[in-house]
């Protein structure tokens, strides 16, 4: 559905997307992960022609967004990173204007808007001005707007950033439902757990390039297999000392503690029981570990 080959976007001297290669197939829920500034939104904007690529190839539904953005937009819904709602108008007015903008026949507009407001649990806010809505309600409304045109391809640019867990889980449920009904989903996020929950395949982007790709499981197995034991700062010197001569332990340290990685749970258990250490946590590796390894940065810094 989307193919990018050696895709580059420069803003002046600055390269935001630096030779991106990816293929997103029909029916996937595809994740684009990366810290702020990785180039995720720039890529998304190129897919519907708002930002023009500098070089390389890009097709969406087989069309070039440079020349066929209208055809593409007709079949695609976008939850943009910024809400871009008209704050002075009501929920209903905002959606009706958008219906007109995307060419939904007049007679169908009200029904379509009401159906989707209902779907996103917003019907009771229909006649409220946007400025009276909470952040989570605005985000749900942007979902409504993205779905008005019954898109085959739904693009979600950081759909849940800054939302509380209840709204996040509600939106995840809707995304899963839409995906199971056949909608192709492309999601950008810097929440690793969100990607693990929703995406069957993903790329990790950093500074405009793809640093890793695969299913969450493949990425974990390839880059950070095994288990992680997290020890407190107080144990830093001790942990350092007992692992320094054993290459089966990989040590990384950051402000939140000392991370010891090994392939087996047993090795970790032996490490802490033999040495009288109490780990803060022992868990299987997850995408966050992959992310830290590939991007060399702690996502919480940028989140």
**Residue 42 found at the interface with ligand ADP (CB under 6 A):** yes
Which token pair is 47? 């897919």
Q: Residues touching ligand ADP: how many (CB under 6 A)? A: 11
**Residue 41 found at the interface with ligand ADP (CB under 6 A):** yes
Q: Which of 23, 25, 26, 36 binds ligand ADP (CB under 6 A)?
A: 36
d(CA 177, CA 175): 5
Q: Which of 2, 20, 22, 40 binds ligand ADP (CB under 6 A)?
A: 40
Cβ 296 to ligand ADP shortest distance, Å = 16
The residue among 38 and 117 lying less far from ligand ADP, judged by its C-beta, is: 38
Q: Considering only the stretches 9-17, 19-27, 108-116, 166-174, report the one whose residues sit in contact with ligand ADP under the rule CB under 6 A.
A: 9-17
Partner from ligand ADP, Mg ion, none binding residue 16, C-beta < 5-8 Å depending on class? ligand ADP
Cβ 49 to ligand ADP shortest distance, Å = 15
- Interaction residues for Mg ion, span 72-101 (CB under 5 A): 81
b/e code 57-86 from CB counts within 10 Å (16+ = b): ebbbbebebeebbebbbeebbbbbbeeebe
**Residue 295 found at the interface with Mg ion (CB under 5 A):** no
Which are the contacts of 50, defined by CB distance < 8 A and separation ≥ 6?
A: 69
d(CA 196, CA 162): 18
87 sits in the region (left: phi over 0; alpha: psi -120 to 50; else beta) called alpha
**Residue 41 found at the interface with Mg ion (CB under 5 A):** yes
What is the per-residue DSSP string for 69-119? HHHHHHTEEEE-SS----TTSBHHHHHHHHHHHTT--HHHHHHHHHHHHHH
Closest-CA residue to 188 (of 48, 86, 38): 38
**Residue 16 found at the interface with ligand ADP (CB under 6 A):** yes
Cβ(291)–Cβ(196) below 8 Å: no
Cβ(147)–Cβ(116) below 8 Å: yes
Cβ 39 to ligand ADP shortest distance, Å = 4
**Residue 183 found at the interface with Mg ion (CB under 5 A):** no
φ/ψ of 227, rounded to 5, equals -125, 160
**Residue 39 found at the interface with ligand ADP (CB under 6 A):** yes
CA distances from 183 to 26, 45, 75 (A): 8, 20, 11
Cβ 205 to ligand ADP shortest distance, Å = 7
Cβ 173 to ligand ADP shortest distance, Å = 25
Cβ 188 to ligand ADP shortest distance, Å = 7
φ/ψ of 225, rounded to 5, equals -70, 165
The residue among 197 and 299 lying less far from ligand ADP, judged by its C-beta, is: 299
Contact positions toward Mg ion, by CB under 5 A? 40-41, 81
Contact positions toward ligand ADP, by CB under 6 A? 11, 14, 16, 34, 36-42
């Amino acid at each position: 559905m989307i193919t990018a080959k050696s895709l580059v976007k420069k803003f002046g001297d600055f390269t935001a997307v630096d030779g991106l290669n990816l293929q997103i197939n029909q029916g996937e829920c595809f994740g684009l992960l990366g810290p702020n500034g990785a180039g995720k939104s720039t890529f998304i904007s190129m897919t519907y022609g708002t930002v023009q690529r500098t070089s390389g190839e890009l097709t969406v539904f087989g069309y070039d967004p440079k020349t066929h953005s209208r055809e593409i937009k007709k079949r695609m819904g976008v939850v943009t990173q910024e809400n871009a709602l008209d704050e002075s108008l009501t929920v209903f007015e905002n959606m009706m204007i958008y219906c007109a903008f995307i060419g939904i026949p007049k007679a169908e507009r009200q029904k379509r808007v009401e159906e989707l407001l209902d779907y996103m649990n917003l019907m009771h806010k229909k006649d409220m001005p946007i400025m009276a809505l909470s952040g989570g309600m605005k985000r749900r409304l942007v979902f409504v707007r993205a779905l008005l045109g019954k898109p085959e391809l739904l693009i979600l640019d950081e759909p849940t950033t800054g939302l509380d867990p209840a709204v996040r889980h509600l939106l995840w449920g809707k995304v899963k439902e839409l995906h199971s009904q056949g909608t192709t989903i492309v999601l950008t996020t810097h929440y690793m757990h969100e990607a693990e929950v929703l995406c069957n395949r993903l790329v990790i982007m950093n500074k405009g390039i793809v640093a890793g790709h695969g299913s969450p499981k493949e990425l974990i197995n390839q880059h950070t297999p095994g288990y992680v034991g997290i020890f407190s700062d107080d144990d830093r010197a001790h942990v350092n000392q007992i692992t320094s001569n054993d290459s089966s332990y990989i040590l990384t340290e950051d402000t939140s503690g000392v991370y010891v990685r090994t392939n087996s749970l047993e090795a970790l258990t032996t490490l802490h029981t033999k040495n009288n250490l109490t780990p803060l946590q022992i868990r299987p590796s997850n995408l966050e570990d992959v992310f830290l390894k590939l991007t060399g940065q702690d996502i919480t810094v940028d989140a």
